Structure 1
C-alpha cells in the first residue's frame, strides 16, 4: 500500500519564517527552485522524499515538527552519511525508500549509530584522561561541566522563568535600573559599591544585613551581570534548588558549584531573554558586537548565550563556544555541534583561538575541518579583563564561537572567507587526534604504536599507527 502523500506547506512556511529566510534563500538551501517551494507552501505539491531529506539536512533540529517520521528521517540521514563510518554514504532516494519500507530497520540503524557514537566518546574520554595522568575520579568542577554538557547547555525551566521575569521589567527602564529597583523593592536589598575592602570579591551578599556589594572597578557589563546573578538567586531559588536536587550529583562541592552555574545561566537568560535575543541574533547575522551593544552585555556573555539557544521547537543555529587562557587551557566549553573539545589539557595548536589570545581586541576568522570531515567557520577574539589595580595582573584570554559551514550564510564572520577556500585541519588535542600528517603534533595519540626510522628525520620525529 503506497504511503500517503505529505502536504505540509504551512509548517514549512512557518519554519522558513522562523529562520528569517526568503523563499529564494530557503529554496537555495534545499536545492530546489523558488517556484517549486512556493507550490509546496501553497499546498499545491506534496513533500517528496528528496525534499524531506533536504529538509532533514538543512533543519535537523526542527525537522521533527513536519511529518510523523521526520525525526527518524533526520536521525537516519545523519547515521547513513556520517563520514566517520567507513563506506559510501547511502543516497537520499534509497534512504527514503528504506524508511518507508523498513521503518524498524531504520530505527535499528539509528540506535546502532547512537551506540557507536557513545562508545567512541567514552573511549576518547578514557584515553584523554589516562594519558593526561588525571585521576579516574571526577573532580566537582568536572562533574558540573559534564552535567551541563548532557543537558545540552539549555535549561528550560530557568530559561523560561528568567524570560518571564525580564518581561515584568518596566519598558522605559534600563536593565541595570530595573534589576536594582526590583532588588530593593521586592527583596529589601541595599546595593553598595566596594573597592577592595572585601579582598577580591566581585560580588558579596550579606543575607543578614541584606546588603549587596559590587566591586566598583568592574566594567559596567560585568557589574550588571553580578546584579542579575543576585536577583535570580533570590527570585528563582526554588527552581534552582529543584534542579540541583534532581541532578544526581552526590558530592556537596559539585552541588554547590552547580547551583552557582545555574544562577549564572539564569542571569544570562535574564539579560538576554530567549526570544528577543534569538530574533536579534538572526537579524544581525550573529554579529557579536552588535548584540552586546543592544543588550548591554560583554562580548563573552553574548558568545556564551548564543551557544545556549537550543529550546525545542525554537532552536537557534547550533554553535560551539569555548574560552582559552594564555597557557592554552580551555576554561569554558560547550558544543551544540559535532565538534568535541578535549576534556583535559589544551586545544589543537592549529586552532586560531591560540593566536587570538596574543592579539586582544582583534577578531580572527578561520575555516577549520575536524578529522570526521565536518567543516566549521570559527570566530575568535582576544579579550583583556582589567583587575582594577596595578598590583594585580589583568586576565588575558580568548573566546571563540563557531558553526558548521552549512550555516555560513547566517554567520556574518564567514563573509571574511572565500566560499571555495581551504580549511585548516584541526583536532581536539594531540592525545586523541588521529591525524598522521601534522607538523604541529606535540605527542602521539593514546594507544598508538610508535614507529621510528633512525635513518630519516621528519618535522615530527616519529610515525605511528
Structure 2
C-alpha cells in the first residue's frame, strides 16, 4: 500500500451516508472545513491520525476504509472487466481504472452491473430484438451485489433478531419455543408433513388456514431454520418491507428474492443471536462443529453467520465464504470484509476448495497468497443438500477463509505453524491473473503479449511478457 492514502471519495460517501455537511463532519473530526474539502478532492492525503478519528467517531474499520472495504467495484474488478476480449484491445491502463474506481465509484458500479448482465446474456443466448435490457440483470446477481454493498450486515435486523432470539433461547432446541411463538403470538400452527403433500416445495405457509407446513424430508436443523424464517416474516414484516423499498429493486421478482434473502438473514440471526453467537465463537475458537451443537444449526448456517459479524465495536473474524457444486457453479459468495477472488468468474484452480469433494466429511485447510501479497487461511468441507431427492442429491462444498492475521483465533488452525507452513500462490480469474509460471492456467491472459517460443515448452501453457 502506498504511504499516502487519497480517500476522498470514501470520505465523501461516509459523510453523505451520515447526512452531514462538510462543516458538521469537520467539526466532529476537529479539522477545518477547508481541509476536509481538500481531503475529499484528493488534494491532501488522509493521515493515520485522521483514520483513527474516523474509527472513533464513525465506527469504521480502519483497514476496510483504507482499502475500500471490498463492497464497491474496485480496480481489480474493473481490470477483470477490461481484460475481456470485447475490451482488451483498448489497453486501458491500470491507473485509469484506479482513478475511475476511486473518483467515480457509482460509475464503476454501473460498468460492473452492465458487464455482469452481458455475461448473463451470453449464457442465456442474448436478448431478442426490442427486448427490455433490464431483463439481463438477473435477480440472483442483483441481490448478491446489494447484499455485498452492505457487507452482509444489517443492524436493524440484528437488533430485532437478538431481542427475539434471546427471548426464545432454549438449551434443548429453539424449534419448540419458535413453534409456540408462532401459535401464541400469531395464531399460526406449524407441523411436519410428508413431502408428497407439498409437491415440489419444502415449506409452505397457508395464510387463509394460518398453517405452516414443513417437509418431513428436511433435516432437523433445516426444520428449525424454516420455523425461524417464517417467524422472521411475521415478526419483522415492517422492517423487511422498508429495507426492500429502500433498496428499490428494478422489478417485483427481484424484490421478492431480496425479501426472501433478508428473511433468511434474520432467521440465522434469530437462531444465533449476535452477542451470544460472537461470544461462543471466541470461546470455541470458531469451531464450526461445536457451534453447530451449541446453536442447533448446520455447517452452512454457521458458516454463513460468520460472514455477518461486522457490528461496530463487536466485530468477529472477517470471513469470506463460497458455496459451489461439483461442476464449479457458485451459488453463494459472501464476505464480511475483502473478497480475494474473482467477482465475475470462478475460483482459482490452485485453491483446494474442490478437493473437499475428494475428501467428503473432512476439513481441508490451506494457506494461500494472492498476487498482492496478502495471505489467507482457508477451510473447505462438503455439506449435504437440505433435502435428498432423485433430482437434488449429491454434495456441495463450502469454502471459508480469513486474513492470516486472524488465523490464530481459529480452532482449525491450531497446530499450524503459520510462519513455516507451505503457502499456495493463487490468483483471480485466469484471464486477469498476473502469475506467469502457473501450470494450471486455463486461458491466455487478456491484454498481455504471449511469450511462446516454438523451440521450447514452458510450465505454463500460456507464457506471457510481464509488465
TM range (shorter): 0.7 to 0.9
Match for residue 267 of structure 2? Answer: 267
Give the TM-score normalised by the residue count of structure 1.
Answer: 0.73
Shift of 1:196: 2.3
Q: Is the 8 A contact 1:288 1:299 kept in 2?
A: yes
Instruction: Say if 2:396 is the partner of 1:364.
Output: no
Match for residue 380 of structure 1? Answer: 380
Instruction: Say if 2:135 is the partner of 1:148.
Output: no
Structure 1 residue corresponding to 2:102, chosen from 110, 115, 120: 115
Q: 1:127 to 1:182 in 2, by over 3 A?
A: closer
Give the TM-score normalised by the residue count of structure 2.
Answer: 0.73
Instruction: Say if 2:404 is the partner of 1:408.
Output: no
Q: Is the 8 A contact 2:170 2:177 kept in 1?
A: no
What pairs with 1:46-125 in structure 2 (closer than 5 Å)? 66=56, 115=102
Shift of 1:347: 1.0
> Distance in 2 between the 1:228 and 1:70 partners?
30
Q: Is the 8 A contact 2:59 2:313 kept in 1?
A: no
> Distance in 2 between the 1:72 and 1:413 partners?
26
Could you say what the CA RMSD is over the residues aligned between the two structures, in angstroms? 3.3
Q: Any idea what the Cα deviations from partners look like across 1:27-70, whole Å, max 9, x if unmatched?
A: xxxxxxxxxxxxxxxxxxxxxxxxx97x99xxx9x98555x799
Q: Is the 8 A contact 1:387 1:395 kept in 2?
A: no
> Distance in 1 between the 2:304 and 2:297 partners?
11
Consecutive unaligned residues of structure 2, counting only runs of 5 or more, are: 1-46, 69-73, 76-97, 127-132
Q: Secondary structure at the match of 2:205?
A: strand
Q: 1:72 to 1:462 in 2, by over 3 A?
A: closer
Q: Secondary structure at the match of 2:381?
A: strand
Q: Any idea what the Cα deviations from partners look like across 1:343-389, whole Å, max 9, x if unmatched?
A: 34421111111101232210011000111110000011112226444
Instruction: Say if 2:285 is the partner of 1:285.
Output: yes
Q: Is the 8 A contact 1:240 1:262 kept in 2?
A: yes
> Distance in 1 between the 2:58 and 2:255 partners?
39
> Distance in 2 between the 1:72 and 1:275 partners?
19
> Distance in 2 between the 1:244 and 1:392 partners?
32
Shift of 1:257: 0.5
Q: Secondary structure at the match of 2:178?
A: helix
Q: Secondary structure at the match of 2:428?
A: coil
Q: 1:168 to 1:250 in 2, by over 3 A?
A: same
> Distance in 1 between the 2:119 and 2:165 partners?
46
Consecutive unaligned residues of structure 1, counting only runs of 5 or more, are: 1-51, 86-110
Instruction: Say if 2:179 is the partner of 1:180.
Output: yes
Q: 1:386 to 1:460 in 2, by over 3 A?
A: same
Match for residue 157 of structure 1? Answer: 156
Number of paired residues? 378
Shift of 1:393: 4.7
Match for residue 296 of structure 2? Answer: 296
More off after superposition, 160-169 vs 120-129: 120-129
Q: Any idea what the Cα deviations from partners look like across 1:108-143, whole Å, max 9, x if unmatched?
A: xxx979717959988888878767845784211110
Q: Is the 8 A contact 1:206 1:212 kept in 2?
A: yes
Q: Any idea what the Cα deviations from partners look like across 1:175-208, whole Å, max 9, x if unmatched?
A: 1111000111111112222222222211111111
Q: 1:326 to 1:63 in 2, by over 3 A?
A: farther
> Distance in 2 between the 1:127 and 1:114 partners?
15
What pairs with 1:398-437 in structure 2 (closer than 5 Å)? 398-419=397-418, 420-437=420-437
More off after superposition, 160-169 vs 229-238: 160-169
Q: 1:116 to 1:397 in 2, by over 3 A?
A: farther
Q: Secondary structure at the match of 2:163?
A: helix
> Distance in 1 between the 2:409 and 2:286 partners?
7
Q: Is the 8 A contact 1:361 1:381 kept in 2?
A: yes
Q: 1:453 to 1:149 in 2, by over 3 A?
A: same
Instruction: Say if 2:371 is the partner of 1:339.
Output: no
Q: 1:347 to 1:73 in 2, by over 3 A?
A: closer
Q: Is the 8 A contact 1:376 1:402 kept in 2?
A: yes
What pairs with 1:303-318 in structure 2 (closer than 5 Å)? 303-318=303-318
More off after superposition, 410-419 vs 175-184: 410-419
More off after superposition, 240-249 vs 187-196: 187-196
